[in-house]
Structures are given as structure tokens and as C-alpha cells.
Structure 1
Amino acid sequence: MKSTLSLLACLLTGASATIYYAGVAESGGEFGVYSSTATPGFGLPGTFGVDYQFINQAGVDVHVDQNHLNLFRIAFLLERMCPVATGLGASFNETHFDLFKDAVDYVTVTKGAYAILDPHNYMRYNDPSSQPYSGSVIGNTSDVTAATTAQFGEFWGELAGRFADNEKVIFGLMNEPHDMPSSLVLENNQAAIDAIRATGAENLIIMPGNSWTGGHAWTEGTDPSSAVMYQFKDPVNNTALDIHEYLDVDFSGGHSECVSAPETYLANLTEWLKTYQLKAFITEFGGANNTGCAAMLTDMVDYMADNEEYIGWTAWAAGPFWGASSPCCTDSLQLGSLEPGSTAADGSPGLYTTVWLETLQPLVPSLLQWSGGASVAGGELVAFSG
């Protein structure tokens, strides 16, 4: 139960108090696999620190200690955690797992923040060489090379069992499923939820929808996520939706012009969440360093703060290997990333300075959850105390 002081703080800060978790997506653990028709998945497993890396501890330090962020989404590849030779399931590459756990423990134990585990695989497995399209759709029974829904559940049961005693770990079931039946996305999600709960883990789960889990697309098309995703069952009622929403013309995050207003394109999703009394995180969104995007990014964060259905967010993206490259929203210009210290290719300030510090940092709530388990109900909101 919140203290009287915390409740008063919630009232004084208004709707922004509905955001319990705010931070960045850490992209880098999925790097280092290259397209090759002769050898699909060339670059696996890769060399840690050379081909891929989960976080830069110094960057996390800045985001926590100076920027007071309490949430990091940490990407990894299924094919590194579960080598293709042994298949998706409960058999892990233990060296790789230990490296991943080191990153998660640094965020959650050393820094006291929350971490979303992010298998960055688009609901596909066995060939990440040309993501987001390569690999077999998990659960596709017409593809003899595809991992099964049961194997996806086995994987999540094993991973969840290893983190069940860390209440600051959030299980993000899958990054951006697409081009598959929405019913299969639900089936895979449910297998994962069932396996996670079978371990005794009560950690927060965030589950995706179809169509790149786009908020704008949630209720659209002939096979929308909205038609089936409410049917999931969680015996401990601690599952939220994982939503992505970019602001450019095609919602891809590839363009520097922001034209798709969140209050317009998230409206149907928000009503759907209200109808089914569900909560959501927006774990990918971003924009370029221009006036139009600054205004629309502000609108995005304010929209989440004004609607209690949204309880957390991570902006795309920080990470140790971006260099001058941009994770999104720059029409392929090399303007850097949200990693502290990032610079553009010409040496000018990168997106960390021009987008994060100038636009997003002032919108980070001064009160966030810093203790206790992550939950759809949130927790006690307090100021960062170091």
C-alpha cells in the first residue's frame, strides 16, 4: 500500500503518476549476424564484445545516476541462447546465458532498476541472418524446419526459472511478431505464460500482438490483434501488452519526419485496453532531432502519462555498438543514438544530446517505482535516491 506521502505526491503530479517505469531499449545483443545464402546465420554465435554486446555499464550508469531512469529493455538472440544445433527449448549455451545474466544483474542488482528480457526475433527462429524476415515462424506446423509452440514454451519456462527470484526482471515474450496469424501469436504467447507460471515465477510479463505489435494497427485489418489478444489467461494476473509505435508516415521508424500523431493513432488501442481493463508498455518509439519530432515525441510521452492504461515506456534505442549510426528516425543519416556520449558522424552532438537530453529527459517522471516487484498495478512512486 502506498504511504500517505506517496499518495499526496501522486495527486500533486497529476496523470504523470500513472507511469511507473521509464527508460531506454538497449540494442546490441542482437547484433553481429550477417546475411549469407551459403551459410544462413553466418556470424553465430559470434564473439562477445566484438560482434555483439548487451549493455555498456558506463552508459547504464549515466542513465540511472544522472537521468534517473528505472527501466532497460535488453535485447538478445534466441539462436545464441538456444543454438540451432540443439534447437529452441530448455538447452542453453551456458556461456552466453552467463554473459546475458551479467547484464541483467548489473541493471537490476547493481543499479536497482528494472530489466525487460527481449528475445529480438520477430517470432522466428533458426536463421536471424536477414531479420526481420529470415527464419521460420515459431509454431508454423506447415514448416518442418520451424520450432514448435511447445518448444517456445519450454524456452520461456527455462529462462523464467532462472530469473524467478529477481522481482525486477520483466519477461518480454517476443519482439515484433509479424506476417503470421494473430491466433498463432496468441497461442505462442499463452504457451510462454503457462510455462513461466509453472515455474512459480510471478514476474510481470509483457506480451506482443501481431503486425509488429504496432499500436496503430492493433484494431486494423482482417486479422487484427484486437480480435484475439484479450483471450490470454494469466493465473496471477500480472501480464501487460507490449506495444511499439513510431511517428513517421509508415510507422517504421525509418524516416526523420514525424507525422503520425499518437493521440490519433493510439486512440483505438487505448479504448480496447479500457474495454478489457488491460495495461500496456510502449517499448519502442522514437524520433529525429527536429522541431516536428520534438513536439510529437512530447505528445507521445504526455499521451501515455494522461492515460492510465500505459504504465511504462522505453525509447529506441541506446546500446554499446551504434557508434554514429542511428537506431531509427533519420532517413539513414548517421546522427548517433540514445547512448550517453553518442555523437553524429561529423562529430556534432548525437541523438543522446539532441533528442534524449533536449526532449525526452524533461518528460521523465520525477517519481518512479524503485523497489518491489514490477506489476500491472505498479508500486510505490518515489524520487530517485541514488
Structure 2
Amino acid sequence: MLSLKATLLFAASAAAKIYYAGVAESGGEFGVYSATATNGTGLPGTFGVDYAFLNASTVNIWVDQNKINTFRVAFLLERMCPLQYGLGKRFNETYFSHFNDAITAITAKGAYAILDPHNYMRYNDPSQQPATGSVIGNTTDPAAATTAQFQAFWNELAGRYKGNERVIFGIMNEPHDMPTALVLQNDQAAINGIRASGAKQLIIAPGNGYTGGHSWTQSSQGDAPSADYLYQIRDPLNNTAIDIHEYLDYDFSGTHTICNQSFAANLGPLTAWLKTYQLKAMVTEFGGDNNTMCDAYLTDAVEYMADNAEYIGWTAWAAGPIWGTGSPCCNSGLGLGSLEPGSRASDGSPGLYYTVWLKVLEKLVPKNLQRNGMSSLNGAAGVKGVKGYSG
């Protein structure tokens, strides 16, 4: 007979379900960095030179060979909504068209696409992000975009995708150094805008402090804990999850080769908070280096999510078509390549696709991911949605 402890562990495991697993695609936000913080550098930029969203030829590799079902696709607000227009409903249609080509390539293959404005809850100066740009909704900054403009932006973008059931709306990448109450205000405005468009798909909402899971219940950068505010989010369709990032190096930055931070040790308070408020989460950024130490930490991280019913998905950081030998994660300044299929390190050796993805992560991709139906907290059965794609 099973002990009570074993029975409870079995029940928790049986209830856990990862619906979405895959990779973040980084590149649509590239090409704007300026060593002198000169605003406007690389804007609007040249597609295929300064920025690119996705190598469409890799979608078949990821889905057919690596068996993932989710791609998180980064874009830049200042390119989607040029500075001369301001944040809102008016888009650079050329940039949107290239972005839409990437989303179409993913969803036509039967995978899910997370739309990721990679702006740190800032708009108007991406020249040295995450440090530059005015905080959206900051009423003391006359240059800042308003919360109403942010809502209008999401209403327009969601309206364009409301018929594509394989889209997931990622409200914002890594808000930080701002009042947590304002993060909640902007998140809620985005949800309101998305739902007003008629879109029913899954939304994922970030917290403050770079939406770090380890600091969810703690003050971060002098601001109130995300846990004190984010439970107040309201979605009329109850189809919003919490967006979490969590790296494995000593300062949780994802910049060092040594892994020494455990998901189980650091995410316990977050997981308890999710359980208390009956919320779910996706970890849309995590990663590690190509060494034996990180192999174990990465394995433990994915297994932790699989073992806890509060987590419904993950995307590893990061692939993308224009990384070259550069590393998006955990490199301590070394050119180790990226998770992009075919990537190479600066010395010509296999890149992180081979040494991290194929070696460690691929075997941890769940066999029964969601393959059909509208994106939802509860898989394909969670929301009755509209079939087809509206463009």
C-alpha cells in the first residue's frame, strides 16, 4: 500500500500538465543598440540585416524532429509603432508583415506562437535596453506612452490575430524598476484591450523585477513584490497565466556559465502563491551553459515544472536567425553559439543547439503536448474558440 506521502506526491504529479514547450526566437528586437545611447539608432532598420524574426526553414526541424509545439517570437515596439506615430493602433505595416510571416509559418505548421513585445515595459528609446526608454504609464514623465495607448496597441494587435487560435499574447517582456502597481495597471489594460478585440486566446502577464520567479514574493529593485499585486488581475474569460523568467546562475541574470540556482529551491514561494490564488504560470525564459553542472540544473528545472500543476509550459532562451556565434544565454562572454539549429561556437565547435538542446532539453519535451485547439490554461478543451485565421 502506498504511504500517505507517496499518495499525495502521485496525485500532484498526475494533476500536473505541460501543454506548451519550445523555444524563444530572438532577433526581431536586434539592431538598435547604441554605445552612446543615441535614440533612433537602427530604426526602422533593414529586415534580414539589422533584425529578423525566424528562419522559417527551422520550423520543420523544431516541430518534426525536436517535437516542440511553442515558439516565443520577440519584436520591438518602436518598430511596430514608430516614434513618429507613437504607441497605439497605427503600425509600420512593413515590419508587421515580416512579423506576421513568422507567426504564420509557426501556426500553419500546427505550433503555437507567443507574441512578445521585447521592451521591458518601456517605449520611445530602445538604444540601451533594458536601461533606456520611458516607463509606459509613468504620468510624471511627459515623454512616456500612456497606459491607454498601451491598451490601444494590444487591442489592435489582438484584433489582427483573434481568428488564429494558435496565438498566445505575451503582454510584455521583463518589466523592471517601476512601481509594481503600475505593472498591474498596464497588464490589466492590455487584457482589457485584448478581450475588447474579441480575442479569446491565452494571455500571459508579467510581474515586476524582470518577472523573476525567485523574487516573486520579495521586494525587487526597491519596488513591492509582484505577489502583492498580480493576484488582482482579472480576465473575463479566465484565460490568463503568469509569465515567469528564471535563470540558473548566481545572480539569476543568465549571463554566466556556472549554474548554481535550483528551481525547486527558488520557486517554492511562487508555486505556493500560484496555488493560493488558483493561478497558472509559464516560464518563457530559462537556460544554462553547455557543461555537466548545468545539465543537471536544467533537467531539474524542467522536471520541477512537469511535477507541479501550477506550470503549463516553457520556452528555452534562445534561438534566432542572426545570433551567429553569439550566445543568448549563460556564456560568461564566450561565443558559444545559440539554440538555433546549425549554430556554431566561435571556435567552430557545435553551438548550444547541440550541446544544450539536443543533449539535455529535447528528451525532456513532454510527449503529449497540445497539438490542436485554441491556446488555453487548460489545453484544447479550455476555451471554445473561433476556427481559422483572420490575417
Superposed, 1:155-234 pairs within 5 Å as 155-221=153-219, 223-234=224-235
Residues 39-92 of structure 1: per-residue CA shift (max 9 Å, x gap): 412110000011100000122221111111100000000000000011000010
Q: CA deviation at 1:36?
A: 5.8
- List runs of 5+ in structure 1 lacking aligned partners: 1-10, 381-386
Q: Is the 8 A contact 2:318 2:338 kept in 1?
A: yes
Q: Is the 8 A contact 1:173 1:208 kept in 2?
A: yes
Structure 1 position 242 matched with structure 2 position 243: yes
Looking at structure 1, the residues matched to 246 and 227 of structure 2 have their Cα atoms a distance apart, in angstroms, of: 16
Aligned twin of 2:357: 356
The one-letter code of the counterpart of 2:149 is Q
Aligned twin of 1:99: 98
Other structure's SS at 2:22 match: strand
The one-letter code of the counterpart of 2:340 is E
Q: Is the 8 A contact 1:326 1:336 kept in 2?
A: yes
Q: Is the 8 A contact 2:151 2:193 kept in 1?
A: yes
Aligned twin of 1:345: 346
Superposed, 1:15-164 pairs within 5 Å as 15=14, 18-35=17-34, 37=36, 39-109=38-108, 111-164=109-162
Runs of 4+ in structure 1 deviating by more than 3 angstroms, as ranges, are 14-17, 36-39
Looking at structure 2, the residues matched to 46 and 166 of structure 1 have their Cα atoms a distance apart, in angstroms, of: 28
Looking at structure 2, the residues matched to 291 and 175 of structure 1 have their Cα atoms a distance apart, in angstroms, of: 30
Residues 323-360 of structure 1: per-residue CA shift (max 9 Å, x gap): 11100101010010000011111111111001000000
Other structure's SS at 1:56 match: coil
Looking at structure 2, the residues matched to 213 and 296 of structure 1 have their Cα atoms a distance apart, in angstroms, of: 20
Aligned twin of 1:4: none
Residues 122-156 of structure 1: per-residue CA shift (max 9 Å, x gap): 00000101011110000000000000000000000
Other structure's SS at 1:73 match: strand
Looking at structure 2, the residues matched to 91 and 321 of structure 1 have their Cα atoms a distance apart, in angstroms, of: 28
Other structure's SS at 1:122 match: coil
Q: CA deviation at 1:34?
A: 2.5
Structure 1 position 331 matched with structure 2 position 329: no
Looking at structure 2, the residues matched to 224 and 328 of structure 1 have their Cα atoms a distance apart, in angstroms, of: 26
Q: CA deviation at 1:199?
A: 1.0
Looking at structure 2, the residues matched to 281 and 145 of structure 1 have their Cα atoms a distance apart, in angstroms, of: 32
Aligned twin of 1:384: none
Looking at structure 1, the residues matched to 151 and 286 of structure 2 have their Cα atoms a distance apart, in angstroms, of: 28
Summarize the Cα distance change of 1:300–1:16 in structure 2 as closer, same or farther, 3 Å threshold.
farther
Looking at structure 1, the residues matched to 361 and 116 of structure 2 have their Cα atoms a distance apart, in angstroms, of: 22
Aligned twin of 2:6: none
Q: CA deviation at 1:366?
A: 1.1
Looking at structure 2, the residues matched to 363 and 342 of structure 1 have their Cα atoms a distance apart, in angstroms, of: 21
The one-letter code of the counterpart of 2:83 is V
TM-score by length of 1: 0.93
Q: CA deviation at 1:379?
A: 2.8
Q: Is the 8 A contact 1:15 1:307 kept in 2?
A: no
Looking at structure 2, the residues matched to 41 and 15 of structure 1 have their Cα atoms a distance apart, in angstroms, of: 51
Looking at structure 1, the residues matched to 79 and 45 of structure 2 have their Cα atoms a distance apart, in angstroms, of: 8
Q: Is the 8 A contact 1:119 1:175 kept in 2?
A: yes
Looking at structure 2, the residues matched to 366 and 199 of structure 1 have their Cα atoms a distance apart, in angstroms, of: 34
Other structure's SS at 1:379 match: helix
Looking at structure 2, the residues matched to 208 and 46 of structure 1 have their Cα atoms a distance apart, in angstroms, of: 28
Looking at structure 1, the residues matched to 153 and 328 of structure 2 have their Cα atoms a distance apart, in angstroms, of: 28
Other structure's SS at 2:340 match: coil
Summarize the Cα distance change of 1:128–1:166 in structure 2 as closer, same or farther, 3 Å threshold.
same
Looking at structure 2, the residues matched to 169 and 149 of structure 1 have their Cα atoms a distance apart, in angstroms, of: 23
Other structure's SS at 1:74 match: strand
Q: CA deviation at 1:276?
A: 0.3
The one-letter code of the counterpart of 1:70 is N
Looking at structure 2, the residues matched to 237 and 356 of structure 1 have their Cα atoms a distance apart, in angstroms, of: 33
Aligned twin of 1:318: 319
Aligned twin of 2:275: 274
